[in-house]
Amino acid sequence: MKTIEEIRNDNARRLNKMKKYCRNVVPVKRCLKNSLEHYLKQCEIAYKLVEEGCEVIVEAEFENGKIADVFVLDFIGGLVYEVLESETIADCKKKTELYPVKKVIMVKI
């Protein structure tokens, strides 16, 4: 059975190697294509997960170029939280099928 550190490192290997990531940090400089509400929901999700002892990466870019709002490193196969604002569920489902993770949780704001 893998340790939590091995699971976290396995998941981190899915990320774009050309980017530098900080675990459990919410970027102060937000992506301007997203609204303030979207950014605050990302912060809220990340905060709650870290408070529960999880390791997360906000705005995680995978090797295939897809960017997840919150990538949780603690689950075998990976877990992503995707914040929905103006997208339809169908659009988001299509987008999230390209994430190299087992599970995606969509959060509507």
Write the CATH number for 82: 3.40.1350
What's the whole-number mean pLDDT along residues 4-10?
96
pLDDT value, residue 50: 95
On whether the CB atoms of residues 71 and 80 are closer than 8 A, the answer is yes
Domain count of the fold of the chain:
1
Q: In which band, very low, low, confident or very high, does the pLDDT at 30 lie, cut at 50, 70 and 90?
A: low
Domain that includes residue 71, residue range: 4-108
pTM for the model stands at: 0.91
Higher pLDDT, 92 or 30: 92
What's the whole-number mean pLDDT along residues 49-62?
95
Strand, coil or helix: 18: coil
pLDDT value, residue 46: 95
pLDDT exceeds cutoff 80 at 57: yes
Q: Among residues 42, 26, 74, 24, which one has the least CA distance to residue 101?
A: 74
pLDDT value, residue 7: 96
